[in-house]
Structure formats: C-alpha cells, structure tokens
Amino acid sequence: MSIVYVNGQMMNAEEAVVSVYDHGFLYGLGLFETFRTYQGKCFLLERHMQRLSESCKQLGIEFNMEPEHVQRIVSELLLLNHLAEGYVRLTVSGGVAELGLPAGDYAQPTIVIMVKSVASPTLESWRQGKPLQLLHTKRNTPEGAYRFKSLHYMNNIIAKRELLSLGERTMAGAEGLMLNEQHVLAEGIVSNLFFVHGNCLYTPHLSTGILPGITRQFVIELAGQLGFSIEEGKYDFSFLAQSSEIWMTNSIQELVPITTLIDLEGNRLLVSNGTAGPVCEQLAAAYRTETVKVAN
C-alpha cells in the first residue's frame, strides 16, 4: 500500500480522493512535474519548480511551495514507501470551484506528490538503445505562448495509442516521434529530441511547439561546456534520417540512445551502428557526473 501527499497530509493512496468539482478533473486545469532522485535528492529541483511556478502564474493558480519544502516531502515519502530512490510526480490543479470556466484566480489549488520505484538500466542495455517510430499523429499547437506541462495530455495519449496500434509493424519498446502541423520535427511522446550531423548537435527549436524540457535545456548547457556546437531550429524527417547519432531526453530516463529509426512505411534505419554513439556517451557520462554532485 503506497503513501501519497495530498494538500499537506500523508495518506494511503487508496484513501486519497479529488473532488468532482476540482477544475483539474473537470477541465484539465492543472500542471505537473516529473523528476527523479539520486541518493534521495531531487535532481534539478529548482528548475522544475521554477517552470511549475511560472506556469501556475500564467493560469492564475496561487502556488508558492519552495524547493526545500518539496524535498522534505519527497524524503518523507521515500521513507514511508520504503524506497531508496524514486520517480516523483508533483501535480498542481486549480482545485475546487463552481461548475463552469474560471471566474478568477485559484487560491486553493490541489497539490499531490507521489513517488514510485525507479531503476537504472545496465550500461550494456543502455548502449543498445531504443527504436524511434515516426507517427502520423501531429504535435498540437501549444495552449499559450509556450507549451505547458499540463494535465491536458490528450495529444500525447492519442500518439501513444497510435504507437500501440502498430503492434508488430514497429519494434518493441519504441518511442513515438511527432512532427508538428508544419511537418517539421517536434518531439517524442514523453521526450525531447537531439541528433548529430558532423560536429554539430541539433534539436528542434521551442518555436516548433515542443515542451521546454528541463533535461533538454540541461543537456544543451552540458554540450556547450564540453565544446560542442549546438543548433536549435526547424528540421524535417529526412534530415534526421541522415544523422550519425540520435537520442532522446527526459527527466526520468536521462539520455536514451536511438539505435533504430522507423518511418511511416515501417522502413528501419540502423543508427550509429546499433549502439550509443560517442557524443551521446560523452554527454550521458557528464550528466551522470552531475547527478552524483547533487547527492553530496
């Protein structure tokens, strides 16, 4: 039986409930962050909290939890759930209000924090990477000036359902890749995209409608520190198919090498000889070094 945090209280997950009048339930009015711990410490927590706080402000949700407070809650949840490390999800919804669209700001949001176990792959299995499957589902236009990490997750769910519907026409464990409505590269279902041409790293620009991923930005900074050239722009699938390396990023899986690229017709292209490439290896090692620092 797992323990969760809801509005200031620790409780059994089976007893945790949200009102039918919560605007997160009624309208998807809410936001969330996912991150993981290393030696019990939340990685890049300040960045996650800054993104969450800024998005809450845009939506009129009064949210003022400090990173230190979240860390204390996560530490207690890990202890109560008998976990050494955790995958953490922090959810903030507008909270309970009258039926109908908001008439003002949300002064009493619903705040939920949950943890579950997380396991890191062996180096050998990590190097084998994952397939990346191009999807028909397009990345939708962001809700505002930039994409929120919102509870309105329908576009991602439709993309995931398309991926699942492919069955044996794709490969086991594949991530789905979406283009935007202009048919340029956007992002994965739960990840941001990077690839290499020559000595330059490429990643879709935020103007393509992608989520401004925390790990994406951190990897961009690491790449700059290591002396790599980085370009953010608009690229098509054919340009991606010519890459010497491809990888995806998110806060739970870190950097994930892509070793097979699959197009809409099911054609499969081996990437970097079927193993993690040298640039991805170097950046992943630098990333792991940073995760060790946060624990000290």
What's the pLDDT tens digit per position in 20-61? 999 999 999 999 999 999 999 999 999 999 999 999 999 999
pLDDT for res 31 = 98
pLDDT for res 231 = 99
Pick the closest to residue 26 from 91, 89, 102, 90 (CA basis).
102
Q: Which two tokens stand for residue 144?
A: 């505002």
Query: In DSSP terms, which residues pair with 125 in a beta bridge?
Result: none
pLDDT for res 294 = 83
User: 208-220 pLDDT, tens per residue?
Assistant: 999 999 999 999 9
Alpha-carbon separation of residue 14 from 2, 4, 86, 115 (angstroms):
8, 9, 19, 14
Q: What is the mean pLDDT of residues 61-89?
A: 98
Contact 29, 148 (CB under 8 A): no
What does the chain come to in residues? 296
Distance CA 90, CA 70 (A): 9
> Based on the number of CB atoms within 10 Å of its own CB, is 64 exposed (0-12), middle (13-18) or buried (19 or more)?
exposed
Distance CA 29, CA 32 (A): 11
Residue 244 has pLDDT above 80, yes or no: yes
Q: Which two tokens stand for residue 22?
A: 């919560």
Cβ–Cβ contacts within 10 Å for residue 19, how many? 14
Residue 295 has pLDDT above 80, yes or no: no
pLDDT for res 133 = 99
User: 133-167 pLDDT, tens per residue?
Assistant: 999 999 999 988 889 999 999 999 999 999 999 99
Residue that the structure tokens 């994406």 belong to: 216
Q: Is the pTM of this model over 0.95?
A: yes
- The overall average pLDDT reported for the chain is 97
Pick the closest to residue 128 from 173, 168, 87 (CA basis).
173
Q: Which two tokens stand for residue 123?
A: 């180096």
By DSSP bridging, strand 175-179 and strand 130-134 are parallel
Residue 10 has pLDDT above 80, yes or no: yes
Distance CA 94, CA 61 (A): 6
